[in-house]
Amino acid sequence: MENDYIIEMLNITKEFPGIKANDNITLQLKRGEIHALLGENGAGKSTLMSILFGLYQPTSGVIKKDGKEVQINTPNDANDLNIGMVHQHFKLVECFSVLDNIILGVEPTKGIFLEKKGARQKVMELSDKYGLMVDPDALVSDITVGMQQRTEILKMLYRDNEVLIFDEPTAVLTPQEIEELMKIMKNLAKEGKSILFITHKLNEIMEVADRCTILRKGKYVGTVDVKNTTKEELSKMMVGRNVNFSVDKKPATPGETVLKVEHMVVPSKAHANNAVKDISFNVRKGEIVCIAGIDGNGQSEFVQGLTGLEKMSSGKITFNGKDITNATIREKSKLGMSHIPEDRHKHGLVLDYSLEQNMVLQRYYEPQFQNAGFIKTKEVRKYAEKLIEQYDVRSGQGPITIARSMSGGNQQKAIIAREIDKNPELLVAVQPTRGLDVGAIEYIHSQLVAQRDSGKAVLLVSLELDEVMDVSDRILVMYEGELVGQLDPKKITVEELGLYMAGAKRDEVPAEV
């Protein structure tokens, strides 16, 4: 008898030091379906998928492929069983071309030489068939995140994988790229591929998934048919309570100017033009200003220029009346500028440090945490415990957990906790809720508003239109390195905002309000 399930993971348990990441979880994947996996940060989704891909061995439990029990000890075993995975953080070789990355590990050879012609043809065919546009000769370091992801997908297809695992593929994509990915996934399913799909965005589940399995704190909660459920029901199953999707806040009461940016120009690393071209604006106490725009329009460079990670080529920044154009990162931090960086692994964390060491990354030198150059370990511990409690940062061993072993969302929560708790005059938050579950997003948004209500300024950079519309008091749209619109979220529609972001509409933006 033909088995309905292509993959069955039965009673899987996985223990890490201090935590049961998976506790008796059963997951059954039907042939040709898109199966979503939903759960709070740290619920054990990535762990479960890593077990299926052979990166971890389950402490107990059985995996079946086509009804037969299998042992998956390494990713190579998984590959032999035609199981492929796109990881939460991509695993491409930066200095290789797209084509080389795709064939890496299964290089076709003629004698001792590489035989790339056939490979190229196969890749091009696959890319046509599934609508995966890539440039096979571009270097990975030069292409967009979206194309990197398509490369990862092609990598799986090139290996004739039939079970495709996507771990939070949409967290790093722009809304446009997400649309595209959704289409690709539907296409793949139609062609008979079976897909496991992790995401925190309920809309995406509603749009593409056939069924959804929900995990909570390592335990199995249930599997539902997506057509018979709602977003609210899903989030309730996942968090265990009702989640408020909109942000409660009173109208802003802006005060004096905190940040004043005048004629800022930042060079681009990717091309000869400037990434940020002569922008001027200000941010006042008690308001949340959001910089909206399609990814790659200079937002990242702007933030790096503002915070001091990169040098700006001209312009002036004033902070609480003080000229900080040439101030160092440390000086800015001391003056009360706090920064939730875009890339948590590159800038936000020292992954090999423990959680508590990361919690004081910006403050280890303050008298509270050191005495005559010696770190007060007890104080650091106490402080970390406080933040962990307050922001519900989940990990195996609490303060002494190595940051690398934490789940992606909890790493993000740790950074947010650290930055908000500095109670900064200005909080620069770039994509703060990237990779967070709906419950955590609700909490973080309320914290941003609370920060505003206590008279501090928040500068939010976000690609999520919902976030832009719900959280901000004032929207500045950035297009090709320039500010092209200043909008009031209460007065405009998402469509209108979209026109500004696409460069179809533009106004003069006053330098000061």
Partner 1 sequence: MSEKKKDVLLSIGASLLCIVIGLFVGLIILFCINSENAIDGFIRIVKGGFYLAPKGIGSEISQAAPLIMTGLSVAFAFKTGLFNIGAAGQYTVGVFGALFFGIILHMPWYVCLLAAMVFGAIWGAVPGFFKAYFNVNEVITSIMFNWIGLYLVNELMYNTIKGMYDQKTTRTYKLSAVSPQSVIPDLGMNSIFKTSSTTIAIFIAIAIAIIMYIILNMTTFGYELKACGFNKDAAKYAGINEKRNIVLSMTISGALAGIGAGLYYLSGAAEWNPQVATALPAIGFNGIPVALLALSNPIGVVFAAIFVAHISVGGSYLPTKYYQPEIADFIVAVIIYLCAFVMLFKGIVMNLLRKKTKKSEHAGKEVK
Ligand X SMILES: Nc1ncnc2c1ncn2[C@@H]1O[C@H](COP(=O)(O)OP(=O)(O)OP(=O)(O)O)[C@@H](O)[C@H]1O
Where do contacts with partner 1 occur on this chain (CB under 8 A)?
17, 57, 59-60, 309, 328-333, 339, 341, 346-353, 357, 361-362, 364-365, 370, 373-375, 377, 397, 400, 402
Give the closest residue to 173 by CA, choosing from 184, 186, 164, 157: 184
Residue 79 CB, shortest distance to partner 1, in Å, is 20
Residue 22 CB, shortest distance to ligand X, in Å, is 8
Closer of 304 and 433 to ligand X (Cβ): 433
DSSP string for residues in 353-384: SBHHHHHTTTTTTSTTTEETTEE-HHHHHHHH
Give the closest residue to 106 by CA, choosing from 72, 156, 148: 156
Alpha carbon distance 128, 331 (integer Å): 52
Instruction: Identify the residue among 13, 15, 16, 320 touching ligand X (CB under 6 A).
Output: 16
Closer of 217 and 422 to ligand X (Cβ): 217
Residue 467 CB, shortest distance to Mg ion, in Å, is 20
The footprint of ligand X on residues 366-425 (CB under 6 A) is 394-396, 405-410
Counting contacts by CB under 6 A, is residue 86 touching ligand X? Answer: no
Instruction: Identify the residue among 45, 418, 452, 474 touching ligand X (CB under 6 A).
Output: 45
Counting contacts by CB under 6 A, is residue 54 touching ligand X? Answer: no
Alpha carbon distance 380, 359 (integer Å): 8
Instruction: Identify the residue among 22, 46, 304, 447 touching Mg ion (CB under 5 A).
Output: 46
Residue 86 CB, shortest distance to partner 1, in Å, is 24
Contact 138, 101 (CB under 8 A): no
List Cβ neighbours of 76 (8 Å cut-off, separation of 6 or more). 54
Counting contacts by CB under 5 A, is residue 308 touching Mg ion? Answer: no
Binding partner of residue 348 among partner 1, Mg ion, ligand X, none, CB under 5 to 8 Å per kind? Answer: partner 1
The 3-state DSSP class for residue 28 equals: strand
Closer of 139 and 361 to partner 1 (Cβ): 361
Alpha carbon distance 145, 147 (integer Å): 5
Give the closest residue to 17 by CA, choosing from 405, 381, 358, 507: 405
Alpha carbon distance 242, 94 (integer Å): 43
Binding partner of residue 253 among partner 1, Mg ion, ligand X, none, CB under 5 to 8 Å per kind? Answer: none
Binding partner of residue 285 among Mg ion, partner 1, ligand X, none, CB under 5 to 8 Å per kind? Answer: none
Counting contacts by CB under 6 A, is residue 19 touching ligand X? Answer: yes
Q: What is the dihedral of CA 400, 401, 403, 408, to 10 degrees?
A: -140
Look up residue 413 and give its two tokens.
């929560």
Q: In degrees, to the nearest 5, what angle opens at C-alpha 263 toward C-alphas 509 and 424?
A: 85
Binding partner of residue 39 among ligand X, partner 1, Mg ion, none, CB under 5 to 8 Å per kind? Answer: ligand X
Neighbour-count burial for 33-72, b at 16+ CB within 10 Å, e otherwise: bbbbbbbbbbbbbbbbbbbbbbbbebeebebbbeeeeeeb
Query: Angle formed by the axes of helices 116-130 and 145-158, to 10°?
Result: 110
Binding partner of residue 365 among ligand X, partner 1, Mg ion, none, CB under 5 to 8 Å per kind? Answer: partner 1
Segment lying near Mg ion (by CB under 5 A), choices 39-47, 65-73, 253-261, 469-477? 39-47
Counting contacts by CB under 5 A, is residue 50 touching Mg ion? Answer: no
Binding partner of residue 333 among Mg ion, partner 1, ligand X, none, CB under 5 to 8 Å per kind? Answer: partner 1
The footprint of ligand X on residues 230-289 (CB under 6 A) is none
Burial class (CB in 10 A: 0-12, 13-18, 19+), 9: buried
Closer of 285 and 344 to ligand X (Cβ): 344
Look up residue 291 and give its two tokens.
């910089």
Counting contacts by CB under 6 A, is residue 79 touching ligand X? Answer: no
Binding partner of residue 410 among Mg ion, partner 1, ligand X, none, CB under 5 to 8 Å per kind? Answer: ligand X
Instruction: Identify the residue among 6, 29, 41, 208 touching ligand X (CB under 6 A).
Output: 41
Alpha carbon distance 414, 355 (integer Å): 8
Applying CB under 6 A, the residues found at the interface with ligand X are: 16, 19, 21, 39, 41-47, 394-396, 405-410
Applying CB under 5 A, the residues found at the interface with Mg ion are: 46, 407-408
